[in-house]
Amino acid sequence: MEITEGSASESESSDTTAEKRRRSTRKFLYLGVGVALLLAIILVLVLLLNSPGASNAKCRGFRQCPDYPLPYAFGTWPKTYSYAGSFPEGFVWGVGTAAYQVEGAYNEDGRGASIWDTFTGANTLGMPGANCSYCCQSAPCTPNKNMVGKGATGNVATNSYHMFRTDIALMKSMGLKHYRFSISWPRIFPTGSATGEPNPEAVKWYDTFIDELLAAGMEPYVTLYHWDLPQALLSPPELGAWWARDKDGKPVGQILPNWKHYVDTCFRLFGDRVKVWVTFNEAWSCTKLASGSGKAPGIPPFMNPAVDPYIAGHNILNAHAAAVDIYRRKYQTSQKGRIGITNNQDWREPKTDSVEDVAAAERAVLFQLGWFSEPIFGAGDYPQEMKDIFAALGTALPEFSEAEKALLKGSADFFGLNHYGTGWFAATKEPGWDMTYGTSSEEGFVQGQSTWLYGAGWGLRKLLNWVKRRYNNPEIYVTESGWSVAAQTAEEAANDTQRVMYFANYTSEVLSAILEDGVDVRGYFAWSLLDNFEWEMGYPIRFGTTFVDYDLGLDPNAPLPNSQVPTPGFQLRRRKDSSCFLEQVWRSNVMTAPSGASCVKPLVFQGRYRDTTQPGCKRVLDVYKPPTSGSISGTRPGPGRTACNNVTDIPYGPAMVTISGSTVVCTDCRTQSSQGFWSAGSLGIEWDDGALWVKDL
Ligand SMILES: *[C@@H]1O[C@H](CO)[C@@H](O)[C@H](O)[C@H]1NC(C)=O
Ligand SMILES: *[C@@H]1O[C@H](CO)[C@@H](O)[C@H](O)[C@H]1NC(C)=O
Ligand SMILES: *[C@@H]1O[C@H](CO)[C@@H](O)[C@H](O)[C@H]1NC(C)=O
Ligand SMILES: *[C@@H]1O[C@H](CO)[C@@H](O)[C@H](O)[C@H]1NC(C)=O
C-alpha cells in the first residue's frame, strides 16, 4: 500500500507536476500574449505619436516635445541690461546696405531691369530685360498692388551709385572697418545672361568702389543676391526663375546656369579683394513674403503661399550650394576668402510655458530659420518636424536628391543671421499662413516704427542660443540688426534715443551670449548705414544710423506724378546719435552705457586745420551763430605747386558752409557741393573727395 500509496502519491504527484507544468505553460502563454499586446499597444502609440500631425496634439510635429528655450526661464526675462564688459578681440563691427535700397542710377551704365523695378512701377521701357510677360508696356507704369508706398521706387534712392565717396567718407569718420553691401546682378548681367562677358561699366563701378573702400581701411562683406533678380529671368509661364517647376510641380533649376555664371564672374573679378561672400540674403523674405505679402515679384501664378515659396526656396538652396561649390573648387584656395549665407529670424518666445506653446514657438523658428539652415548646417535636408507637418497637410516639401544633399551639407563657412525683433508665439488649431499651427502677438514689447517690429534684447540672446544648440555652435555673424524710427527732419532724426537703446540692449545681449553662454558670435552689423528704400514701404520708414535728406521732388520715371520721392539733387547725410553710440562701442570694443550718447555739436568745427592733401596751406572754419552755417577761408598752393609756401599762395575761399550736427556742407568749395564729416578718431573732417583736414590745436 505504501508502495501503491507511494506510487499513487507518486502518480498523483506526477499528475500534479504535469498539471503545474501545464498551468505554468499557460501562465507563460498568457504572460507572453499580454506582453506582446502591451508591446503592440506601445508600438501603436509610438507610431501614432510619431505620425505627422497626428494625435500628439500637445507638441505637434515633434517626436519629443522640445524643452523651454533657455537661457531665460519663463517669466525671468531681464528688464534692464548691464551695458558692461569687453567684446572678444577681433570682434567684427559693421553696418550694411543693399544695392536696390541705396544705389539708385537704376537705368544708367547699361543696368538691366530688376524685378524690383517692375514691382515698384518704375519706368522700365527700353531697359534690358524689360520685355517680360507682365512687364510695363507704356509709361507711367503701374506699381504692384502689394506695394504699400506707391510711387516710391529705387530709381534714385540714396543716390549711392554717384555718392559712394560721400558714403565712404562718412564710414571713415565713424571709424568703421567693415561694410556689408550687395552687388546688383542686373548691373553685372543686364539680362541675367548665362554666358559671355559682364557689363564693363558695372564691373568698373564695383572695382572702383571696392578699391576705394579698401583704401579707406574698410573690409567689404559682399552679398550676391539681395532680392534684385534680373527681370529678364522671370517671365512666366516660360521663365520661372526661382519659382520654376516641372509639369509635376517639382522645382527645377532653370535659373542655375545664369546664377552660376553670375557668381563665378563675381568671384573671378572681385574675389582678389572681397574676402567674405554671402550668397543669399533672407531667402525666407524673398520667397515666403513674395507670394502676396509685400515682396517682389508677387505675381501670378506664384501667389500660393503654401506651395510657391517652398519651390523657390528649394531652388535657392540648390543655387546657394552651387555657388559655394564653385567658390570652393575654383577660388577659395587662391583667394583665401570665406563664404556663407544669411538667413533671418525674429525671436518667438512661448506665450506660456505650456508644452503646446513651447512647441509652437519652436516650430516658428524651425519653419523659418530652420527651413533654410537645416539643409546647410544640419543633415543636408529640411527639418524633420517641418517635413512631417507639411506631409500631413498634403503639401509635401520638395525633396533633395542624395547628390544635392551632399552639396548642401556643410556649405557655409559661417552662419549669417539677420535679426530685428521678438514676439510671443502660441499654439493654434489651424496651420495658418506659415503652417506652424501657431500665432504671434506682441503685448508688452516696445515697438519700432515698422508695424512688425517689436523689440527685446534678450530675444536675440535666446535666438543665438537656439542656433548654438541646434547647429552645434557655428561661427555666427549677426549680419543685420536694427530699429526703425520715424523722422521728418535731420534735427528730429538725429535724436534717435530709441535706436540708441535698441543697439545698447541688443549688443549687450550679444556680449552675454558670448561670455556667459559660450555662443560663438564673431560680428555684429547694424542695419543700416543710411536711411534707404524700405522695400514695399518706400521711404517713410527709416532704419538708418545716418539720416538721409532725400531732396524730395519729382522723378519723371516714378509711376505716379509724385513730387515726394528722392531726387539726385543734393542729398544730405547726417549722423544720428545711434551711429555715435555704436562708434563708441566699436572703437573701444567695450560695451558702454547708452545714456547721453550723442554726436558732436556744430561748434566742434570751429578752428584751424591742416589739409593733409595740401601741406602747409591754411584752413580756417568759422562757425556762425546760430551754429547752422559758417565759412571756410585759407590758402592754397600757387600755380604749378602742390604745397603752400607763404609766398606764392593764393586765397582759398572764403566759401560758405552749412552745418548739420556733425556734417559740414560746403556749397561752393568745388563745382559740386561736398560734404565733410567730423571724425572723433582723427579729430578732423573727412571730406568726400578723400581729403582729411586735421584740427591744428
Ligand atoms: C532697452 O532696454 C531698456 C531697459 O534697460 C528698456 O527700457 C528699453 O525699452 C529697451 N529698448 C529697446 C528698443 O529694446
Ligand atoms: C526679350 O527680348 C529678347 C531680345 O529681343 C529676347 O531674346 C527674349 O526672348 C525676350 N523675352 C521675352 C520674355 O519676350
Ligand atoms: C530726444 O528725444 C527724446 C524722446 O525720444 C526726448 O525725451 C528728448 O528730450 C529729446 N532730446 C532732444 C535734445 O531733443
Ligand atoms: C607759413 O607761416 C606759418 C606761420 O605764419 C608757419 O607756421 C608755416 O610753417 C609757414 N609755412 C611755410 C611752408 O613756410
> What average pLDDT does the segment 643-672 reach?
89
> What average pLDDT does the segment 606-618 reach?
94
* pLDDT value of residue 667: 81
> What average pLDDT does the segment 587-609 reach?
95
Residue of the nearest CA to atom 7 in ligand 1? 80
Supply the DSSP symbol for 589: T
* pLDDT value of residue 49: 47
Residue of the nearest CA to atom 1 in ligand 2? 131
In which band, very low, low, confident or very high, does the pLDDT at 193 lie, cut at 50, 70 and 90? Answer: very high
* pLDDT value of residue 596: 82
Does pLDDT of 388 surpass 60? yes
Bigger pLDDT: 211 or 47?
211
In which band, very low, low, confident or very high, does the pLDDT at 4 lie, cut at 50, 70 and 90? Answer: very low
In which band, very low, low, confident or very high, does the pLDDT at 560 lie, cut at 50, 70 and 90? Answer: confident
In which band, very low, low, confident or very high, does the pLDDT at 34 lie, cut at 50, 70 and 90? Answer: low
Rounded to an integer, what distance in angstroms lies between the CA atom of residue 296 and that of residue 302?
Answer: 11
Beta bridge partners of 674: 666
Listed in sequence order, the residues at least 6 apart from 611 whose beta carbon sits closer than 8 Å to its beta carbon are 617, 619, 691, 692, 693
Does pLDDT of 52 surpass 70? no
Q: Quote the mean pLDDT of the chain.
A: 93
Domain boundaries, the chain: 95-263+277-308+338-346+451-588, 602-695
- Least Cα distance to 470 among 16, 66, 132 occurs for 66
Mutate to test the pocket of ligand 2, among 125, 131, 233 (most ligand atoms within 8 A of CB): 131
Q: Tell me if 501 CB under 6 Å of ligand 1.
A: yes
Ligand 3 centroid distance, CA of 497 (Å): 7
* pLDDT value of residue 670: 61
Ligand with the closest atom to the CA of 83? 1
> What average pLDDT does the segment 544-556 reach?
96
> What is the CATH topology of the domain spanning 95-263+277-308+338-346+451-588?
TIM Barrel (3.20.20)
Residue of the nearest CA to atom 13 in ligand 3? 495
pLDDT in tens, 361-372: 999 999 999 999
pLDDT in tens, 448-504: 999 999 999 999 999 999 999 999 999 999 999 999 999 999 999 999 999 999 999
* pLDDT value of residue 13: 41
Ligand with the closest atom to the CA of 647? 4
pLDDT in tens, 75-114: 999 999 999 999 999 999 999 999 999 999 999 999 999 9
Q: Tell me if 505 CB under 6 Å of ligand 1.
A: yes
In contact, 188 and 259? CB cutoff 8 Å? no
Does pLDDT of 50 surpass 60? no
pLDDT in tens, 666-691: 987 765 569 999 999 999 999 999 99
Does pLDDT of 299 surpass 60? yes
Of ligand 3's atoms, which has the minimum distance to the CA of residue 498? 5
Of ligand 4's atoms, which has the minimum distance to the CA of residue 644? 13
Rounded to an integer, what distance in angstroms lies between the CA atom of residue 659 and that of residue 622?
Answer: 11
Q: Quote the percentage of the chain above a pLDDT of 90.
A: 89
Q: Which residues are catalytic?
A: 282, 480
Ligand 4 centroid distance, CA of 618 (Å): 9
In which band, very low, low, confident or very high, does the pLDDT at 210 lie, cut at 50, 70 and 90? Answer: very high
DSSP symbols for 404-446: HHHHHTT--SSEEEE---EEEEEE-SS-TTTTSSEEEE-TTSE
Q: Tell me which architecture the domain covering 602-695 has in CATH.
A: Beta Barrel (2.40)
Q: Quote the percentage of the chain above a pLDDT of 70.
A: 91
Listed in sequence order, the residues at least 6 apart from 697 whose beta carbon sits closer than 8 Å to its beta carbon are 607, 683
Q: Tell me if 495 CB under 6 Å of ligand 3.
A: yes
In contact, 218 and 176? CB cutoff 8 Å? yes
* pLDDT value of residue 55: 40
* pLDDT value of residue 672: 57
Does pLDDT of 48 surpass 80? no
Bigger pLDDT: 20 or 253?
253
Most distant pair of Cα atoms in the chain: their distance: 153
Q: Tell me if 131 CB under 6 Å of ligand 2.
A: yes
Rounded to an integer, what distance in angstroms lies between the CA atom of residue 558 and that of residue 544?
Answer: 23
